[in-house]
Amino acid sequence: MERRASSAPAWSRRQWMSGVAAVFAAGTRPGADADATPAGAETSQRTDPPAAQPLDISQYEPRSMLRVPETAVPRARYPVIDIHTHLTFRTERAAGVSAGDAVTVLAPASELLSVMDRRNVQTMVNLTGGTGTGLAQSVREFQSAHPGRFLTFTEPAYDRAADPGYPKAQADTIARAHEAGARGLKVLKTLGLYLRERITEGPLVAIDDPRFDPMWEACAGLRMPVAIHIADPVAFFLPIDRFNERFEELNAHPDWSFHGRDFPAFTALLEARNRLFGRHPRTTFVALHVGHHAEDLAEVAASLDRHPNMHVELGARIGELGRQPRAAQRFFDRYQDRILFGTDAVPHGDDTPQQVFGDALYQIYYRFLETEDEYFDYAPAHVPPQGRWRISGLGLPDGILKKVYRDNAARLLDLQA
Asked if residues 321 and 328 have their Cβ atoms less than 8 Å apart, the reply is yes
Q: What is the pLDDT of residue 44?
A: 52
Radius of gyration over every alpha carbon of the chain, rounded to an integer in angstroms = 28
Nearest to 321 by CA among 259, 270, 271, 387: 387
Task: Write the pLDDT tens digit of every residue in 140-164.
Answer: 999 999 999 999 999 999 999 999 9
Q: What is the pLDDT of residue 14?
A: 42
Q: What is the pLDDT of residue 350?
A: 80
Strand order in the sheet with 184-187: 80-85, 121-126, 150-154, 184-187, 226-228, 285-287, 310-313, 339-340
Percent of the chain whose pLDDT exceeds 90? 83
Q: What residue segments make up the domains of the chain, in order of their start?
A: 80-412
More confident position, 42 or 348 = 348
Burial grade of 68 (CB within 10 A; 0-12, 13-18, 19 or more): exposed
Q: Give the pLDDT mean for 116-125.
A: 98
**DSSP letter string, 45-108:** T--PPPPP----GGG--PPP----------S-SS-EEEEEE-SEEEEEEETTEEEEEEEEESS-
**Those residues with Cβ within 8 angstroms of residue 71's Cβ, 6 or more apart along the chain or in another chain:** 367, 371, 373, 393
Residue count (the chain): 417
Query: Which of the four pLDDT bands, split at 50, 70 and 90, describes residue 174?
Result: very high
pTM comes to: 0.88
Task: Write the pLDDT tens digit of every residue in 227-270.
Answer: 999 999 999 999 999 999 999 999 999 999 999 999 999 999 99
Query: Residue 277: which H helix or E strand, with range?
Result: helix 266-279
Query: Which of the four pLDDT bands, split at 50, 70 and 90, describes residue 45?
Result: low
State the amino acid at position 42 in one-letter form: E
What span, in angstroms and rounded, lies between the C-alpha atoms of 21 and 229?
Answer: 63
Q: How far is CA 15 from CA 8, 12, 19, 20, 50, in A?
A: 14, 5, 6, 9, 12
What is the residue-averaged pLDDT of the chain? 91
Q: What is the pLDDT of residue 349?
A: 82
Q: Give whichever of 20-34, 42-56, 261-275 has the largest mean pLDDT.
A: 261-275
State the amino acid at position 116 in one-letter form: M
Task: Write the pLDDT tens digit of every residue in 61-76.
Answer: 999 999 999 999 999 9
Task: Write the pLDDT tens digit of every residue in 318-355.
Answer: 999 999 999 999 999 999 999 999 999 999 888 899 99
CATH class of 80-412: alpha beta
Q: What is the pLDDT of residue 1?
A: 40
Q: What is the pLDDT of residue 179?
A: 98
**Those residues with Cβ within 8 angstroms of residue 236's Cβ, 6 or more apart along the chain or in another chain:** 246, 250, 256, 257, 258, 259
